[in-house]
Amino acid sequence: MRKIVLPGDLLASNPKLAGYGTYVEGDKVYARIIGIYEQTDNSIRVIPLKGKYNPSAGDTIIGIVREVISNGWNVDINSPYQAFLPVSENPEAKPGKKLNEVLDIGDAIIAKVMSIDPRMRVTITMKDKICRAIRFGRIVAINPARVPRVIGKKGSMIKLIKSELDVQIVVGQNGLIWLNGDRKKVAIAEEVIYIIEEEAHTDGLTDRVGEFIRRRKNVQT
């Protein structure tokens, strides 16, 4: 069982080790969020177990259009901040085409975070090959802090689900996951994702998930 730390727990007395989820005060490193303690040779970090999505540049996210304005779209990205998608960053927008015909309120999109200014104004882009408007499939929402477990170490978990179930999956860093493929298999994948979310803090999860998928597949065939 890995060690879970709470805000204010003393982690180390070498400020050079301080990594994500920690803060330094008076030469001491403390945890600042609830999470799993992880120590490597040159850093200490706390992997969050709870919390909202905090956007950072380069993240792949799934958002929902909330507002169409003259020069772009305001997109809800499941974080404390709304993101802005300028017209120039959406390759589907062509001159002469109305903005609400390209993307309308309620449409879901896969996008990337382009930049964040110090006042936390988030700009997103769709100029990437995985970015697109979502017109089919299913979107599953989980706690954004559990996203790293859904992806797994170097993508191991997501690869497992993809190869076992043969479904298309795009994991947004903001906790929204898009699934597409055979209906029954998508249903299993959704269940699997909820299991991962529920048990994110436990060990040996990938093996258990693999076993679960195989068992579910046998029941159905």
Q: Which stretch binds another protein (CB under 8 A): 47-55, 89-97, 147-155, 213-221?
A: 47-55
81 is a contact residue toward another protein (CB under 8 A): yes
Q: Are 63 and 111 contacting, i.e. CB atoms less than 8 angstroms apart?
A: yes
Q: Which stretch binds another protein (CB under 8 A): 51-59, 128-136, 156-164, 172-180?
A: 51-59
Choice from 15, 19, 24, 34 touching another protein (CB under 8 A): 34
Which residue, 21 or 72, has its beta carbon nearer to another protein? 21
Choice from 15, 23, 43, 60 touching another protein (CB under 8 A): 23
Give the integer Cα–Cα distance in Å for 80 and 151. Answer: 23
Q: What are phi and psi of 78, to 5 degrees?
A: 60, 35
Choice from 61, 145, 157, 213 touching another protein (CB under 8 A): 145
Choice from 14, 16, 39, 51 touching another protein (CB under 8 A): 51
Q: Tell me the C-alpha to C-alpha distance, in Å, between residue 146 and each of 6, 26, 50, 142, 203.
A: 17, 31, 8, 7, 14
Q: Are 129 and 175 contacting, i.e. CB atoms less than 8 angstroms apart?
A: no
Which residue, 23 or 139, has its beta carbon nearer to another protein? 23
Q: Which stretch binds another protein (CB under 8 A): 86-94, 156-164, 171-179, 198-206?
A: 198-206
**Subset of 148-177 contacting another protein (CB under 8 A):** none
120 is a contact residue toward another protein (CB under 8 A): yes
66 is a contact residue toward another protein (CB under 8 A): no
Which residue, 32 or 159, has its beta carbon nearer to another protein? 32
Q: Are 196 and 160 contacting, i.e. CB atoms less than 8 angstroms apart?
A: no
Choice from 16, 50, 184, 215 touching another protein (CB under 8 A): 50
CA angle 86, 180, 109 (to 5 degrees): 10
State the number of binding residues for another protein (CB under 8 A). 32
CB of 21 to another protein, least distance (A): 8
- In this structure, the strands spanning 60-69 and 72-76 are antiparallel
Q: Tell me the C-alpha to C-alpha distance, in Å, between residue 77 and each of 1, 38, 59, 118.
A: 33, 28, 11, 18
Amino acid identity of 188? I
- Locate all alpha helices (DSSP H) within the chain, ordered by sequence: 99-102, 147-151, 156-165, 183-198, 205-220
List residues near another protein by CB under 8 A: 1, 4, 6-10, 23, 25, 28, 30, 32-34, 48-52, 54, 80-82, 118-120, 145, 198-199, 201-202, 208
